[in-house]
Structure 1
Amino acid sequence: MNAIEPTFRMATAADVPALVALIESAYRGDASRAGWTTEADLLGGQRTDPEGVASVVNGAAGGMLLTEVDGALAACCQLENRGDHAYFGMFAVSPTLQGGGLGKQVLAEAERLAHEEWDANEMHMTVISAREDLIAWYVRRGYVRTGETSPFPYGDERFGLPKRDGLEFELLAKKLP
């Protein structure tokens, strides 16, 4: 198998519809089951919407890092400069490309940008604590479980329709070189 050779760029407003479709395909519905990062067993409904993605793309403190493989959208992540640290979120890899190392490449590029462009010494992210397999993936990449949690926004359909009680977000952090 040939190594995936991605290209990276910051997303623009024109990318928003494709980004929404990518994020939805990676996390919700039957299409997400082609990969391993699905949240379909925990949440129904939407993962995001055009307004939410546009606010990240147009954010003054960061933006959306877009990843292309052979000229096609393959992955994305939110990067935000929060002063004392950078925030990593809205990470999505096309379900058909998951498991091949692309996610590791995107995460490494996000960490590099945060450290080199913003002089960030730490990266933060929040992950649904029930996603043990995903948390373990981040831990293997140097992230630490802080034990700090925040409640899932039950009742706010913009974040999905919970299929169980007790969902919460856990803060993960990594020192950047």
Structure 2
Amino acid sequence: MPTSELTFRTALDADIPGLVELIESAYRGDASRAGWTTEADLLEGQRTDPEGVAAVVGNEAGRLLVVERDGELIACCQLEHRGDHAYFGMFAVRPALQGGGLGKLIIAEAERTVREAWGAREMRMTVIKQREELIAWYERRGYRRTGRLSPFPYGDERFGVPRRDDLEFELLVKPLG
């Protein structure tokens, strides 16, 4: 897929409803099963809400990168400047478009953006450790598992309702040349 078809820009407040719908469709419910990044087997309920997305859009230390093709919102990711590194999160691609190489293009653009905009030397992210297929995808892109775990926010339904009691996040890192 040529990158010329894609437009990258920073999200605006007007994008929030579409971003919530995109993120929910990629991670939760039956619609998410059309793609391979679903968390529906691990979590029920919401993945985010308008307030959560608005907080990322309004964060002065970062940006929510919007990806469009022909004016249609097809993907997004959160980038946050944290000193010498950047945090990558809230990555969502429309389920019907997953598996075609779009994610590789977006993560490469995200890495380029944080190097150029902030001089970030490392990208970090947290992934639910049970998501082995997703972690393997990131490993193929140069990210490495650190073994550093953090707890899942059990009891805070803003992040979903867990279907199991052993969820944890693992920190993945990648040096940016």
**TM bin (shorter chain):** over 0.9
Q: Quick check: 2:9–2:67 contact (8 Å CA) kept in 1? A: yes
SS of the residue 2:73 aligns to: strand
Q: Which residue of the partner structure matches residue 167 of structure 1?
A: 167
Is structure 2 residue 55 aligned with structure 1 residue 55? Answer: yes
How much has 1:63 moved relative to structure 2?
1.2
In the superposition, the TM-score normalised over structure 2's length comes to 0.98
2:44 matched to which residue of 1? 44
Tell me, in whole angstroms, the C-alpha distance in 2 between the residues paired with 1:108 and 1:84: 18
Q: Tell me what 2:17 maps to.
A: 17
Return the letter of the residue paired with 2:27.
Answer: Y
Task: After TM superposition, give the deviation of residue 159 of structure 1 in Å.
Answer: 0.4
Residue 49 of structure 2 is aligned to residue 64 of structure 1? no
Q: Deviations 1:96-115 (Å, cap 9, x if unpaired)?
A: 10011111111001000000
CA-to-partner distance for each residue in 1:104-150, whole Å, 9 max, x for gaps?
A: 11100100000011000000000000000000000000001011000
Distance in 2, Cα, partners of 1:6 & 1:132: 29
Alpha-carbon shift at residue 3 of structure 1 (Å): 4.2
RMSD over aligned Cα atoms: 0.8
The reply to whether residue 129 of structure 1 matches residue 124 of structure 2 is no
Q: Following TM superposition, by how much is the alpha carbon of 1:156 offset from its aligned partner in structure 2, in angstroms?
A: 0.4
Aligned-partner SS, 1:37: coil
Q: Please give the per-residue CA displacement for 1:16-59, whole angstroms capped at 9, x wherever unaligned.
A: 00000000000000000000000000000000000000000010
Give aligned-pair identity as a percent. 73
Relative to the length of structure 1, the TM-score reads 0.98
Runs of 4+ in structure 1 deviating by more than 6 angstroms, as ranges, are none
Where does the alignment leave 5 or more consecutive residues of structure 1 unmatched?
none
Residue in 2 aligned with 1:26?
A: 26
1:116 maps onto 2:111 in alignment: no
Say how many residue pairs are matched: 176
Cα distance in 1 between the residues matched to 2:82 and 2:20? 24
